[in-house]
Amino acid sequence: MKILDVKALAIPDVKVIRYARYPDRRGYFSEHFRKSVLGQLDFQRGIEFLQCNESYSRARTIRGLHFQWNPRMGKLVRTLSGRMVDLILDIRKGSPFLGKIMAYDMPADTGADFGEWIWVPPGFAHGNYFDRESRIEYFCSSEYNPACEAGVSPSAGDIDWSICDPRLKSEFDEMAAAEPLMSEKDRNGHTVASWLRNVNSDQFVLNR
């Protein structure tokens, strides 16, 4: 695995890792994951991925915003086909970004000489939306525990979108207004305020 670049996003704990592809006239080869290489990055030290998931979404799908507190789960996410716009909401008490959401555009591009992962650490609610048929893959730093997971609805009125790319926010609003494909669980998720009143929200405190 050859890492080309690592950049912090508007919420600095969220990182995008760009890795090399090797194209030729047949297509390309890419080593997209190697534990020893990723483990050299400061924010990946001590992280062990225990579960890998693949998700397929039809056009006009909105998913999220999900999180788990026992055990806490970070996610390393990439787009396999189509286009994902990743949504990341800070739910860490004491964070200057608490309640703020950002979006990152991650289309699959077989013609590019790189691929990308986005790292979403524990303490963030994670979701995505899709304007076309898409598949994504994500590695999880803990195993799924349905007894200790919850979500904030992407449509919650008290989410602060002020640091989000205005183009992506406008795109999200258009999709959300046009009867998107969403689970009832996601549609009826917490608001930011109702989650912060939940006793389990104390599991996410900055620098704990």
Partners of residue 103 on adjacent β-strands: 87
Partners of residue 29 on adjacent β-strands: 22
Which two tokens mark 106? 């991650």
pLDDT (tens digit per residue) in 127-182: 999 999 999 999 999 999 999 999 999 999 999 999 999 999 999 999 999 999 99
User: H-helix or E-strand containing 139?
Assistant: strand 134-140
User: How many Cα neighbours within 13 Å face the side chain of 161?
Assistant: 17
pLDDT (tens digit per residue) in 102-113: 999 999 999 999
Phi, psi of 96 (to 5 degrees): -65, -15
User: H-helix or E-strand containing 17?
Assistant: strand 15-20
Structural class in CATH, domain 3-203: mainly beta
pLDDT (tens digit per residue) in 32-42: 999 999 999 99
User: How many Cα neighbours within 13 Å face the side chain of 39?
Assistant: 8
Q: Which residues are catalytic?
A: 66, 138
- Before 65, cis peptide (omega within 30)? yes
Q: For the chain, which residues make up each domain, given as ranges? A: 3-203
Provide the pLDDT confidence category of residue 208 given band limits of 50, 70 and 90: low
The answer, yes or no, to whether residue 77 has pLDDT greater than 80, is yes
Closest CA to 82 of 60, 116, 58, 108: 108
The Cα 22–Cα 98 span in angstroms is: 40
42, 3 contact by CB (below 8 A): no
The Cα 58–Cα 60 span in angstroms is: 6
pLDDT of 207 reads: 79
The Cα 65–Cα 68 span in angstroms is: 11
Say what the pTM is: 0.94
